[in-house]
Amino acid sequence: MSDVSTPARVAIVTGGSGGIGRAVVERLAADGIAVVVHYSSNEAKAQEAVRAVVAAGGRATASGGDVADPDAMEALFRHATDAFGGVDVVVHTAGIMPLAPIAQMDLDTFDRIQRTNVRGTFIVSKLAAQQVRTGGAIINFSTSITRLQPPTYGPYAASKGAVEAMTLILARELRGRDITVNAVAPGPTATPLFLNGKTEQAISTIAAANPMERLGTPQDIAEAVAFLAGPARWVNGQVLFTNGGAA
């Protein structure tokens, strides 16, 4: 936990109501960071995460909104400041992953992926760049799919390639601010987003292909986020592939 003599740091975690986001919320709270749990539509799950943090002795609150809506995200950042006094860490886990071969994906789905994953990252990163305090950290989410490049992931991988580019450029644009900007790129991780639509055989095959012979867990990814949010002050402008050696 953080030293009681120092003001508590404050984090916003987008997509914090479930999966990797929920694990990140609980891991940052364990380090003494007050957490704003963002949700898109499932307020009940976000409030469940808040209750878990509070029950463990931490501080948390929930706030909803579409990450691709600038007004909603401005309200999210205001909520963090009103509740806890400011923002030190922004972890942007929110994203969507519809899959289809490029030849078969309709443009509406493609546009929805880019709207959430690219526009959403841009909006959250812009606000974070304006509001994160000195000594803070901005952590976006990419994916190891940008290296693995399997079929059906084309539009999703394209969106995360854009996320990586924005992340690395923003790190350079924040010169002199003492704010780190990095991206975490998980490999196959046992979350509902990843497991949805896959057979048990497919999941077992993917797990066996990893040198660690398992899927990642949300907690594995949360440890990498905690590292970048806290002690990793000399890691900046990087993409941290967190995948057990899969790529």
Whether the Cβ atoms of residue 153 and residue 108 lie closer than 8 Å to each other:
no
Distance (Å, rounded) from C-alpha 207 to C-alpha 233?
32
Whether the Cβ atoms of residue 21 and residue 48 lie closer than 8 Å to each other:
no
Of the candidates 187, 113, 117, the one whose C-alpha atom is nearest the C-alpha of residue 150 is 187
- Is position 153 annotated as part of the catalytic site? no
CA pseudo-torsion sign 18, 23, 24, 26: positive
Identify the burial level of 80 via C-beta atoms within 10 angstroms of its C-beta, where 0-12 means exposed, 13-18 middle and 19 or more buried: buried
Q: Tell me which residue has tokens 């886990």.
A: 93
Whether the Cβ atoms of residue 30 and residue 56 lie closer than 8 Å to each other:
yes
Of the candidates 184, 84, 83, 167, the one whose C-alpha atom is nearest the C-alpha of residue 128 is 167
Q: What are 84's two structure tokens?
A: 């806890």
Give the helix ranges, DSSP H, for the chain.
19-30, 43-55, 70-84, 107-114, 120-131, 145-148, 154-173, 192-195, 200-209, 218-229
Q: Which of 77, 84, 153, 156 is catalytic?
A: 156
**Which active-site residues does the annotation give?**
156
